[in-house]
């Protein structure tokens, strides 16, 4: 039986022992939103292996002198980077599935992450803070 890293299976006392922390520290981190475990019926906390790994990372950063607010911000940014990397992978897959033609080689990526094909010389409308990607034609085409 395989257990997912996101499966909430550890009660707070076990999670604290696995992370080498006091249970009260885990409660504080939950209140601060640094590591927020799942809740079982009756509101008891349930930690996953991913939560334990995050607690260990929090402990490492704390030992290096990073404040709890700094740690919270680092974790938020790491989550944001992971989400953006996932989105880039999705967009790359979408582009790979599109038919290759010279007219569809130019597209705009808007602020919301949408992808729009453009004709050569066309600009995205309305003008926003869009990023336009261009790939030049090979010589002789």
The answer to whether the peptide bond before residue 126 is cis (omega within 30 degrees of 0) is yes
| The CATH number of the domain covering residues in 1-97 | 1.10.1660.10
The predicted-structure confidence for 85-112, as pLDDT tens digits, reads as follows: 999 999 999 888 876 655 445 777 766 7
Q: Is the pLDDT of residue 118 over 60?
A: yes
Helix spans in 1-141 (H): 12-19, 23-32, 49-63, 68-97
pTM for the predicted model, two decimal places: 0.60
Quick one: pLDDT at residue 101?
57
User: How far apart are the C-alpha atoms of 37 and 50, rounded to whole Å?
Assistant: 10
- Per domain, the residue ranges of the chain are 1-97, 101-141
pLDDT for the residue numbered 103: 47
Through-space distance between the first and last CA atoms of the chain, rounded to whole angstroms: 56
What the block records as the tokens of 36 is: 């927020």
pLDDT in tens, 21-79: 999 999 999 999 999 898 888 888 999 999 999 999 999 999 999 999 999 999 999 99
Give the mean model confidence (pLDDT) for residues 114-131: 67
């Amino acid at each position: 039986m395989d257990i997912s890293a996101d499966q909430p299976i550890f009660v707070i006392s076990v999670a604290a022992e696995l992370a080498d922390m006091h249970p009260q520290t885990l409660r504080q981190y939950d209140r601060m939103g640094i590591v927020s475990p799942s809740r079982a019926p009756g509101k008891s906390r349930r930690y996953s292996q991913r939560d334990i790994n995050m607690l260990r990372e929090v402990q490492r950063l704390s030992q290096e002198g990073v404040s709890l607010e700094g740690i919270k911000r680092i974790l938020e940014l790491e989550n944001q980077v992971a989400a953006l990397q996932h989105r880039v992978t999705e967009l790359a897959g979408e582009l790979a599935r599109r038919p290759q033609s010279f007219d569809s080689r130019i597209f705009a990526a808007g602020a919301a992450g949408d992808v729009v094909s453009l004709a050569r010389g066309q600009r995205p409308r309305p003008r926003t803070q869009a990023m336009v990607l261009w790939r030049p034609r090979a010589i002789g085409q």
